[in-house]
Amino acid sequence: MRTTAEAVITPSRGGRGRAAGARRSGVVLLTALLAAGLAGCVGGGGDDVEQTAGAPAPSGSAPATSAPSTEAAVLVPGGSAADNQPFFDQVNRALIASNPDAGGVEITSNLRDNGFDIAAMQVTVDTTTVGVEADSVQFSVKWGDDCLIGQYGRGEYASMVAPALGTGACLIGQTRPIDW
């Protein structure tokens, strides 16, 4: 059975040597932390979590979608996080299509430029503590009591809506200050 966190965090399958091992260890740790945090916040079988990606959905919930809608999505300021996930995905997919090397600064700046509140965002670092490019970057926008959470790395994008953590944050672990 695949956990919600596994649908969002995908460990590296390539690379050799210490740097790859360090990246895999960091991703595994982040996956475990995210799984523990979301399990405590989501509860049950994951029915409260909506996700989009090519990965199978957790049992008991609707299948994940991988194809974007043909209709242009719009930001719904008075709507829920789930109401705004199609726009969140559309904005992120458009950036990734035009800039496959996009990192945390580009992603959060693009979300801000498209109407999301940068003060409500979190983003992980683009490089590891040993200076190696991270396998992926996770980013979020807190929307009311919920979070729009995205991940991009190695050409793959995934997103989900999940309840905010008990701390009020959306991401577990170390995030970087958004000072741009």
- Six-digit token pair at 129? 């503590």
Angle at 3 between CA 54 and CA 31, to 5 degrees: 95
Q: What is the pLDDT of residue 70?
A: 67
Using CA atoms, how far apart are residues 35 and 50, in angstroms rounded to an integer? 15
Element (H, E) at 50: strand 50-52
Q: How many domains does the chain have?
A: 1
Give domain status of residue 169, yes or no: no
Listing from the earlier edge strand, what are the strands of the sheet with 137-143?
A: 50-52, 156-163, 146-153, 137-143, 121-123
* Domain membership flag for residue 127: yes
Whether residue 180 is contained in a domain is answered as no
pLDDT of the chain, 180 residues: tens digit per residue = 433 443 343 333 344 344 444 444 444 434 444 444 443 333 333 444 444 444 333 333 334 445 555 689 999 999 999 999 999 999 999 999 999 999 999 999 999 999 999 999 999 999 988 999 999 999 999 999 999 999 999 999 999 999 999 999 999 998 999 998
Asked whether residue 135 is domain-assigned, the answer is: yes
- The maximal CA–CA distance of the chain, rounded, in angstroms, is 49
At residue 115, the pLDDT reads: 97
SS3 string of 137-175?
EEEEEEECCEEEEEEEECCEEEEEEEECCCCCCCCCCCC
Q: Which domain holds residue 126?
A: 4-163
15 phi and psi angles, rounded to 5 deg: 90, 155
**Could you tell me if residue 177 is inside a domain?**
no
44: nearest Cα among 32, 33, 55, 60: 60
Q: Answer yes or no: is 176 within a domain.
A: no
Q: Which residues pair with 138 in a beta bridge?
A: 151
Residue 13 lies in a domain: yes
Is 172 contained in some domain? no
Where are the alpha helices (H) located in 43-148, listed in sequence order? Answer: 81-98, 104-113
